[in-house]
Amino acid sequence: MEWVRGETVGFGTFSTVSVATNTRDSGDFPAIMAVKSSDSYGAASLSKEKSVLDSLGDCPEIVRCYGEDLTVENGEKMHNLLLEYASRGSLATHVKKLGGEGLPESTVRRHTGSVLRGLRHIHAIGFAHCDIKLGNILLFNDGAVKIADFGLARRVDGDLTPSKKSVEIRGTPLYMAPESVNENEYGSAADVWALGCAVVEMFSGKTAWSVKEGSHFMSLLIRIGVGDELPKIPEMLSEEGKDFLLKCFVKDPEKRWTAEMLLNHSFVAVDLEDYHREDFVVKFKEEEKVLMSPKCPFEFHDWESFTSDSHTSLDSPVERLGSLVSGSSPDWSVGGSWVTVR
Ligand SMILES: Nc1ncnc2c1ncn2[C@@H]1O[C@H](COP(=O)(O)OP(=O)(O)OP(=O)(O)O)[C@@H](O)[C@H]1O
């Protein structure tokens, strides 16, 4: 495949996403694609992402991968993943442009149904995505949404716990499920919890957990992992929507509904023809200061997806969290796509 890099459309922790124009009109690949590129630092994550996408095969609700390519640009070796291009970017950007208002419920229902079909496929093949959030749900010209960014996805195969001996944060803390906080469990049920958080954010324009600016993210992990508090269910949501979220926010992963079960919930099991696609005309408001998913581990309101790993063997959730919260500030170090807390 021959292609030319165009404008940059997104940044990840270790990658840049640009438009790619297919210069050889062979018909095998679309004329316009997205190319996710990284230097050697992020190469392993890109090749892992490709292998997950290859295993998943074709699914209309998952961003397609057309292949990988190595280039040398400005003397630097670049690893590139060629992907289906989502011309309207991520739902995170889309919702942010609404100035904190959120999307109409009919649209939220439709997007939720699409993400659930994608998740059902991912889970049926034996993977968990591990980083479901609005930034990883991409919006296409025709209003369809697809799941992207499989950099943290993992094969579950019955073992939901990447490491029993460590405290690991995989993905974005605001979307973390209680069992991930308490037991390092990252299975399909954790994706369903994260989907619930994404639904709240789509509808309300605000994150599912309200957090004070500047607060330590460990205090959020304690709220998620210990006690009865649940993410905030928007009051303006229909009773069906509230019930749907309560099925996603069951603290016990064994009792939480699966993607397959949720696809039969009345919140999403509707005839799409009944809905007007009114949100396609988007009111772009001046960006307000909306609490979105954090971007980096150093500032609460700016975290990004990451994994943190404390190499201590601790038995109870309280002990595990306590080890991270107590004492002086943690010593952060970043390696690969991982953040380590010592
Ligand atoms: N196929 C695509 N089409 C259009 N835009 C895309 C596409 N893939 C990614 N983007 C844009 O680039 C951003 C970063 O992409 P992505 O999340 O895949 O990168 P990442 O390095 O894995 O990020 P993260 O640090 O969140 O793991 C997305 O939020 C989105 O705005």
Structure confidence at residue 272 (pLDDT): 52
Atom 29 (ligand 1): residue with closest C-alpha?
Answer: 135
Structure confidence at residue 316 (pLDDT): 53
Residue 274 is classified by DSSP as G
Q: Does 79 contact ligand 1 (Cβ within 6 A)?
A: no
pLDDT in tens, 246-259: 999 999 999 999 99
Closest atom, ligand 1, to C-alpha of 38:
21
Structure confidence at residue 292 (pLDDT): 40
Residues of the chain with CATH 3.30.200.20: 3-84
Q: What's the angle, vertex CA 161, arms to CA 155 and CA 162, rounded to 5?
A: 70
In angstroms, the CA 130 to CA 253 distance is: 14
Whole-number percent of the chain with pLDDT over 90: 64
Better-scored residue on pLDDT, 2 or 195: 195
Residue in the structure block whose two tokens are 């309300």: 204
Structure confidence at residue 169 (pLDDT): 67
Q: Which of 5, 9, 131, 295 to mutate to test the pocket of ligand 1 (most atoms within 8 A of CB)?
A: 9
Q: Does 148 contact ligand 1 (Cβ within 6 A)?
A: yes
Structure confidence at residue 237 (pLDDT): 97
pTM: 0.82
Is residue 109 within 8 Å of residue 275, measured between CB atoms? Answer: yes
Structure confidence at residue 76 (pLDDT): 92
Q: Does 12 contact ligand 1 (Cβ within 6 A)?
A: yes
Closest atom, ligand 1, to C-alpha of 149:
18
First to last CA, the chain: 44
CA of 213 to the centre of ligand 1 (A): 25
Q: Which of 61, 73, 56, 11 is nearest to 36 (CA)?
A: 11
Structure confidence at residue 208 (pLDDT): 96
- From residue 185, alpha-carbon distances to 112, 162, 180, 189, 317 in Å are 23, 7, 4, 9, 12
- The model's confidence at residue 342, banded by pLDDT at 50, 70 and 90, is very low
Using DSSP's 3-state secondary structure scheme, residue 324 falls into helix
Q: Which of 104, 128, 114, 110 is nearest to 184 (CA)?
A: 128
pLDDT in tens, 213-224: 888 888 899 999
Average pLDDT over the chain reads 81
Q: 3-84: what fold?
A: Phosphorylase Kinase; domain 1 (3.30.200)
Better-scored residue on pLDDT, 161 or 205: 205
Range with the poorest average pLDDT among 117-131, 229-243, 250-264, 314-328: 314-328
pLDDT in tens, 69-93: 999 999 999 999 999 999 999 999 9
CATH number given to 89-264? 1.10.510.10
pLDDT in tens, 324-335: 444 333 332 223
Instruction: Choose, from 131, 191, 279, 309, the residue flagged as catalytic.
Output: 131
Question: Which own/partner pairs from 181-185 qualify as long-range (CB within 8 Å, at least 24 positions apart)?
Answer: 181/221, 181/224, 181/225, 181/317, 181/321, 182/225, 182/226, 182/317, 182/320, 183/317, 185/160, 185/161, 185/253
In angstroms, the CA 57 to CA 38 distance is: 23
Structure confidence at residue 286 (pLDDT): 36
Better-scored residue on pLDDT, 288 or 308: 308
List of residues 6+ apart from 265 with CB closer than 8 A: 240, 243, 244, 247, 257
Structure confidence at residue 311 (pLDDT): 37
In this predicted complex, what is the ipTM? 0.95
Residues of the chain with CATH 1.10.510.10: 89-264
